[in-house]
Each structure stands twice: as C-alpha cells, then as structure tokens.
Structure 1
Amino acid sequence: MTNYENAKALEGLTLGKSTDYASEYNPNLLQGVPRSLNREQINLSGQSLPFYGEDVWYGYELSWLNSKGKPVVAVAEFRVPATSENIVESKSFKLYLNSFNQSRFATREDVIERLIKDLSEIAKAPVKVTLFDVDNCPALNIKHLEAICIDECDIAVDDYQFDDTLLDDIHITQAPIVEEVLVSHLLKSNCLITNQPDWASVYISYQGKQVNRQALLAYLISFRQHNEFHEQCVERIFCDLQKYGQFDKLSVYARYTRRGGLDINPFRSTENITAPNARTLRQ
C-alpha cells in the first residue's frame, strides 16, 4: 500500500470508472497525474533528479478522417520527458486518441500539431510526437536488446509483497567491476486504481560491482502484487538499485505490454540518452 493511493489528485480521474467513448476530437478528455505523488515517497523532489529519462508511448489505434472524409491510420510515438510535471493518465489518453476517429483534419501535420499541443499542455512539458505508416514503423519491428536473461535463476519465492531489502545482497562476494545488460520478463505490477495487471520486460544496464542475479530477480518478483503506475515502478527500481548498488552507470528500461492500443515504456538513466528502440513478442 503506497501512501498516495488516496491522494486528492487522483479523485477526478476517469480511470476505474464507466465512461462513454467520444468519436469527435476533444482535448478535454486528457488528464494528468502529478509525478510528485510518487517521487516524494522515494525522496525525489523538484528538478534535482538523479536520472535522465523519458516515457515512450506507442499508440497502435490512431485514426482520423481526411478533408474528404476518408479514414487515415497511423502508429504514433509519444516521448514525454521525465522532468514533466505530470504523467499522462493512460485511460484518458486512450479516450482522447479515440476522439480523433470521426474528426476531419486537412493534413497529417495538423494531427501532429494538435497532439503536441494537447499533450504538452497536460504534461506541462514539451512532448515529442511522431506518426508512422503502419507498415513502416520501427516500433513494430522485433528488435531485441543484447541482454542476459536472469529468469532461469533457481530461486524459491514465497512472498509477493514489495520488498526493497531483498537488494541487501545485491553484490556477489568480492564482486568484480563489470559492465553488462540484464533482462527479466517476470516483472508484473498492478494498476494503482483498477488493480489490473501490468506486464513488462525490464532491462537493467549497469557499470559497477557485479550484481547478484538471484537477489535482483527476487526483488523484481516482489512487485507482483504491488500497486503503482508504470512510470512510478521504473523510478522506484532505478532509485532502489542505485541506493543498494551504488553503480557508476545505470539505466532501467521497462517495455510494458499494450492495453487498449497503447504501451508505455519508461526509461531512466544516469546518462543523458534516449530510450533504445527494442521490443519483444509480447509488445
């Protein structure tokens, strides 16, 4: 149970409530959630963040009408900076994108301009938007990151409540300094409001003392009954790993499975770089 689940900022969300789908463009459907709700709990505040990062969203069900009423479809990429005041609440995002379905726009550029304006206003930071043809989109290509999968570690698990102290043994005995990328496909958390499951593959790239992979896997599995938004889970993982591991370099990238035509992929790093372009079959 996190201490912000009943925060007033969450009371007006459409998430978890019965709603009608609008088919005419309506930017008022968008809702934001303050990032501060989770960051205060993990001792982050203001702009003095210990990481760079972005939330990379892909929208697979974007459609609108051209000036003659003919439907147009596209795959959309949205990049929201981790420094934005708000995250974009996912259900409101789906409802908003659905409102384009029966709306006419003269050009593709008009759609992009409208998306940038509306999303930047709700996030309170510049949001980047790119539209791709459905048969020519990097997000649709299966491109794996070169990583060592830790899911075959033979560990016993009898508690599925979040526990950061599982990282007490994050380093192996007399750990050498290494640089490697690890991945687990076993990350599961639950939506903060609806309790619906969220599934992800999480990539952890680091430079520093070698990680005890059993301890890391046990920690990631402890999210299994944890309720938190995607972005908040990734920031928690990043902060916990840095707290216990004291790495020279660290990046955490979670590729979540899509729901309602959207997938959310938070990326946090000690390096000022963009999120890699990669996905698995589940995305």
Structure 2
Amino acid sequence: MSHRPDTLAHAPLGRESAYPDAYDPGLLYPISRTANRAPLGIVEGSLPFVGEDEWHAFEVSWLNGRGKPIVAVARFRLPADSPNLIESKSWKLYLNSFNQTRFADRDEVINTLAQDLAGAAGAPVSVTLFDVDAEALAPKCLPGECLDALDIDVNDYTPSAEHLAVSAQVVEETLYSHLLKSNCPVTGQPDWGSVMIRYKGPKLEREGLLRYLIGYRQHQDFHEHCVEHIFTDLMHHAQPSELLVLARYVRRGGLDISPWRATPGLAPPSPQRLARQ
C-alpha cells in the first residue's frame, strides 16, 4: 500500500468520489496522529493514555465463491498508539470495494481486512464480523449517572477547560452525557455523540463539566482527537488518579466511531453500541 503525506489536501473527505467496483486497498487514507496531538502536549512514544478507536461498519458485503452476496456488520478496533488513524470516507470507499469481489469464506475476508487496515494504521487492527441479527449488536445503555437533566445556562460553544472545577471530596464515579456534538474538520458536517467519563479522584463539579462538554458544539476536529482533548483537559485540571473517557458517535455513511482513552492499568470498556448508533 502506498502511504500518502500527512495531510488532508488529497483525502477523499469533502470531495465527490466514485464508488469502486473492484477490491482496492489503496483507497485507505492514513493520517498521522502526531500533528493533532502536539498542541495537547501529547508526545508520540510517551502517551499518557491507553485506548482504542472502535469502529462499527454496517454496510459490509462481498460475494461468496459462487457469486452470492453475503452481508455482515464489522467491528474494528484500532489501537490508540498506532502511528495513523484512517480517514473515515476512505474507509467507507474501501469497504465498498468488497461489494463485487469474490472471497472463499469469512476467514479470507477477515484476514484481508486485518492486513489492509494494519498497513494503513501502522499497527495491528482487530477485525470481527457479525451476522446482521447477532445478539452482540443489541443496543445497550451507558452506565453511570446522566448529566443532561441539569438546568444550566450555556453561552460558550467552544471547549474551555476553565469550566472544569473540583471539590476536596474524593470519589469514584461514572458520568455521561448525550449532548456531545463536534464538527468534521474538513466538511463542517455535525458529528453527534454520547460521552462517558469514569474517574477516581477529586469530585468534578457537574454543572461545569456539562458546560465543558457542550463546549465542543462548534469545535472542528476528528472524533479521536476530541476524546484525547477531553482526556488531557480532565487530567490536567482535575488530576484524577484514574480516568477513562469514551465517546460513542452516531454513525455517518454506515460507520460509527467510538474512541476511548484511559490511564494505563484500567480495564478497557466492553465493546457495545447505543440505540442512537
């Protein structure tokens, strides 16, 4: 696979693109994580977190050896320490290149996906295929307490860590909100999502936390970098001993993206999807 420069100048996102009619791994467009991490003080090779970018693809199809179409849902898990993320439209076009391609069996499809995605990401990518009515895909609810019923005034729609405040009380709790919204850095299209924060440390002032999360409403960035932004702001201003930030974004183009970042040593969240995804 030919790797492209670390730029969006030639990415398919925001451009009119022809849908492929033959398998083509060259459609995948890797983007270096480094440039967006640098302003947050995140240094490659010394990440302050562990995590993954969990993707679900709901438009996966190929032909079996006799030419009969097979459909499935795919779950991909891309490690946060991979050098690259993969631009979402290129991922969609790549998956569509399977539509008229024959494969001997599901194992061949899985192995092909894993090899191509690892080549673009620069690290191994976990691939699981589900039948479209699989119980594992049943919607679930986020654990913890929802912040969305708080009756607050909001006047700031860009991220500001000044809203974050803590008390002297040390707690261990899980909070979530469905009010997360950010915007694509290329097209400006809205990206809707839910965010969960699990932490142990000084108690977060909830109204300030909700104002902070709502502050992403006009922010332009990739899903993965929004989660890393939230993680680094909470670590700096709240200084918890343990922290996990998970965002579950609503699907667009048949793909949803759910990045999570956590302090090393925490167990990863269980793969799942929400009803809104």
With the length of structure 1 as denominator, give the TM-score of the two structures. 0.93
Match of 1:208 in 2: 201
Q: CA deviation at 1:272?
A: 4.5
CA contact (8 A) 2:140 2:275 kept: no
Equivalent runs, 1:186-205 vs 2, <5 Å: 186-205=179-198
Shift of residue 137, structure 1, vs aligned partner:
4.7
Deviation at 1:145, TM superposition (A): 2.9
* Helix, strand or coil at the partner of 1:176: strand
The code of the aligned residue for 1:198 comes to D
RMSD of aligned alpha carbons: 1.2
Aligned to 1:146: 143
Matched, 1:239 2:232: yes
- Deviation at residue 237 of structure 1 after TM alignment: 0.2
Q: Quick one: which of 70, 84, 87 aligns to 2:85?
A: 87
> 2:121 corresponds to which residue?
123
Task: Please give the per-residue CA displacement for 1:129-160, whole angstroms capped at 9, x wherever unaligned.
Answer: 0111111152x212223210011111101221
Pick one of 183, 186, 208 that aligns with 2:176: 183
Residue of structure 1 in register with 2:166 after alignment: 171
Q: Distance in 2 between matches of 1:46 and 1:141?
A: 36
Identity %: 52
Tell me which of 252, 255, 259 is aligned to 1:259.
252
Amino acid at match of 2:145: I
Measured against aligned partners, the alpha-carbon deviations of 1:103-149 in whole angstroms (never above 9, x if no partner) come to 000111010010001000000001010111111152x2122232100
Q: Per the alignment, in what secondary structure is the counterpart of residue 49 of structure 1? A: coil
List gaps (5 residues or longer) in structure 1: 1-6
In structure 2, the partner of 1:103 is 101
Choose 175-184 or 219-228, whichever is displaced more.
Answer: 175-184
C-alpha contact 1:186 1:201 (8 A) present in aligned 2: yes
Contact preservation (8 Å) 1:55, 1:265: yes
What amino acid is aligned across from residue 45 of structure 1 in structure 2?
Answer: V
Letter in 2 for 1:181: T
For 1:119 and 1:141, the matched residues in 2 are separated by 26
Q: 1:53 to 1:43 in 2, by over 3 A?
A: same
Displaced runs of 4 or more, over 6 A: none
Per the TM alignment, residue 8 of structure 1 is displaced from its structure 2 partner at its CA by: 6.0
User: Residue 10 of structure 1: SS of its match in structure 2?
Assistant: coil
The separation in 2 between residues aligned to 1:179 and 1:246, in whole angstroms, is 13
CA distance in 2, matches of 1:24, 1:9: 26
| 8 Å CA contact 1:160, 1:225 repeated in 2 | yes
The residue number in structure 2 matching 1:4 is: none
- Number of residue pairs matched? 272
State the alpha-carbon separation in 1 of the partners of residues 129 and 135 from structure 2.
Answer: 9
Q: Does 2:225 match 1:228?
A: no
Partner of 2:269: 275
Deviation at 1:277, TM superposition (A): 2.7
The 2-side partners of 1:240 and 1:137 are apart by 36
The residue aligned with 1:3 is none
Spell out, residue by residue over 1:189-233, the C-alpha distance to the aligned partner (whole angstroms, 9 max, x if none): 000100000011000000011110000000001100000000000
Alpha-carbon contact 1:192-1:228 (below 8 Å) kept: yes
- TM-score w.r.t. length of structure 2: 0.95
CA distance in 2, matches of 1:199, 1:24: 32
SS in 2 for 1:224: helix
